[in-house]
Amino acid sequence: MSNKTSSADRIREKKKIFLAREQKIIDAALELFLKESIDRVTVSKIAAVAGIGKGTVYKHFLTKNEILARIMLDYERNITNVLAEGIVKAEGGDSGAAAKGYFQARLERPELDRLVQQLEVRLADASDIAEQLEELHATRRSNEESLSTLMTGLIGEGVLEDVPPHFHYLACWALAQGAVELCFNRSWNYRTDTKELMEFITNIGVTMGNRGQYHANARQSKSAKTPKPKK
Partner DNA sequence: TATGAATGAGGCTTCATTCAT
Partner DNA sequence: AATGAATGAAGCCTCATTCAT
Nearer to its own copies, 1 or 145 (CB): 145
Among 151, 188, 195, 224, binds its own copies (CB under 8 A): 188
210 phi/psi in degrees, rounded to 5: -70, 155
Which stretches of 94-209 are DSSP H helices? 97-108, 110-123, 130-156, 165-184, 194-207
Least distance to DNA, CB of residue 80, Å: 27
Rounded Cα–Cα distance for residues 57 and 64 (Å): 9
Least distance to its own copies, CB of residue 182, Å: 5
Rounded Cα–Cα distance for residues 154 and 144 (Å): 15
Site residues (CB under 7 A) for DNA, limited to 112-131:
128
| Candidates 40-48, 111-119, 154-162, 171-179; binding stretch for DNA (CB under 7 A) | 40-48
Is 205 within 8 Å of 175 (Cβ atoms)?
A: yes
Helix (H, G, I), strand (E, B) or coil at 158: coil
| Candidates 44-52, 92-100, 116-124, 179-187; binding stretch for DNA (CB under 7 A) | 44-52
Interface with DNA (CB under 7 A) = 10, 14, 17-18, 21, 39-44, 47, 52-56, 58-60, 62-65, 128
